[in-house]
Chains A and B, each alone.
Chain A
């Protein structure tokens, strides 16, 4: 009898953002996202709980991450911001419908 045991590890990455996510701050985040995608990661949690300002550049990057992940069978879950104005922005742009919104990073990771 031959026994072959294979172990596969799936990486889940939580990206926790603080403060402003906008055109003036986006470059390092974009580079980090591209690096992770190129490494083959495609399950993410976006923790926006501490985000206090989000512009169209930030929104575009979040959608970019979702699209790229879903193209390879992955997914992105989102922890909503505590800041009420930023929450309303995500509702206005229907990000609460496009992303699966979860209460916490831990809950997100256990639900993949």
Chain B
């Protein structure tokens, strides 16, 4: 198989959805619907509804974080670029989020003391606990979040 054929085979094994949404809460349901469609289309998942919920919640939290922190001043005029890619071998769902907002200092966020009943700090905790991989990178043009769920 040539390199080109291998590349085409890899593409054939991937479903990708790209969205560019205004940085507001009211369109996040579109993203949630796309995620649930992708997850629930996968054959043989042990708990498709639970997995779908957890992925939706983690991505929702990442977007909420962008709206509240990256675009603090005027989120209505800003956008979030989203790529959802379902890979087959190994089977996983990869979500990439790009924004052009302020940097996020991921090291400044402490793990919440759950039994103390903290009011804040659940967002990043949920993202980390509901996904298998979470990466944040500051790019020259903005922020890049990559969330991966093994399926």
Contact = CB atoms under 8 A, between A and B. Distances in A.
B28 A56 contact: no
A93 B122 contact: yes
B39 to A, nearest CB: 12
Contacts of A67: 117, 119
Contact of A55 (B26, B60, B120): B60
Contacts of B123: 56
Interface stretch (A10-18, A33-41, A57-65, A103-111): A57-65
B118 interface: yes
B28 A85 contact: no
* Chief secondary structure at chain B's binding surface: helix
Interface in B92-123: 114-115, 117-120, 122-123
B9 interface: no
B64 A56 contact: yes
A24 B26 contact: yes
Interface of A: 22-24, 53, 55-57, 59-60, 63-64, 66-67, 84-86, 88-89, 92-94, 97-98
27 contacts: A23-B64, A23-B67, A53-B53, A55-B57, A55-B64, A56-B61, A56-B123, A56-B126, A59-B122, A63-B119, A66-B117, A67-B117, A84-B49, A84-B50, A85-B49, A85-B54, A86-B53, A89-B57, A89-B126, A93-B122, A93-B125, A93-B126, A94-B114, A97-B115, A98-B114, A98-B115, A98-B117
Given A22-B25, A22-B60, A84-B50, 10 more contacts: A24-B29, A56-B123, A60-B119, A64-B119, A66-B117, A67-B117, A85-B49, A85-B50, A85-B54, A98-B115
